[in-house]
């Protein structure tokens, strides 16, 4: 549920929305969501880093077209934004749990 209140700072609306989503969950459910979120967060870190490395390589490649560099920049910015969004959700879940759950292998 996204906030439509223009007078409200976006972060406050986000936390209200997260309260709506996670507020009624019991500890086992929160822990399961936190573990899933940790895995997704780790994957988003890897995607953002790969995008950054590709962008850096393209910037130093004299044969790389400007359009390709711009595309890689957009991909990198998108990956960073997704990473930050996942981090916000993960932080909220961990705050609700009061601890960082162990993530099983696999």
Q: Are 54 and 72 in contact (CB under 8 A)?
A: yes
Q: What are the sequence ranges of the domains in the chain?
A: 27-94
Query: What integer pLDDT is reported at residue 55 of this predicted model?
Result: 94
Mean pLDDT of 53-58: 95
Cβ within 8 Å of residue 77, ≥6 positions away:
none
- Summarised one tens digit per residue, pLDDT across range 79-100 is 999 999 999 999 999 999 999 9
* Cα 58 from Cα 94, distance rounded (Å): 37
Distances (CA, A) of 90 to 29, 36, 40, 71, 78: 14, 9, 9, 29, 18
Fold classification of 27-94 is Helix Hairpins (1.10.287)
What's the predicted TM-score (pTM) here?
0.78
Residue 79 in contact with residue 9, Cβ under 8 Å?
Answer: no
């Amino acid at each position: 549920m996204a906030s439509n209140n223009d007078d409200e700072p976006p972060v406050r609306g986000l936390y209200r929305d997260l309260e709506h989503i996670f507020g009624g969950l019991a500890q086992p459910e929160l822990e399961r969501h936190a573990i899933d979120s940790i895995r997704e967060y780790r994957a988003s870190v890897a995607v953002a880093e790969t995008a950054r490395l590709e962008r850096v390589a393209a910037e130093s490649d004299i044969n790389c077209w400007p359009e390709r560099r711009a595309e890689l920049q957009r991909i990198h910015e998108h990956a960073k934004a997704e990473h930050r969004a996942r981090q916000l959700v993960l932080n909220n879940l961990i705050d609700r749990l009061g601890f960082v759950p162990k993530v099983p292998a696999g």
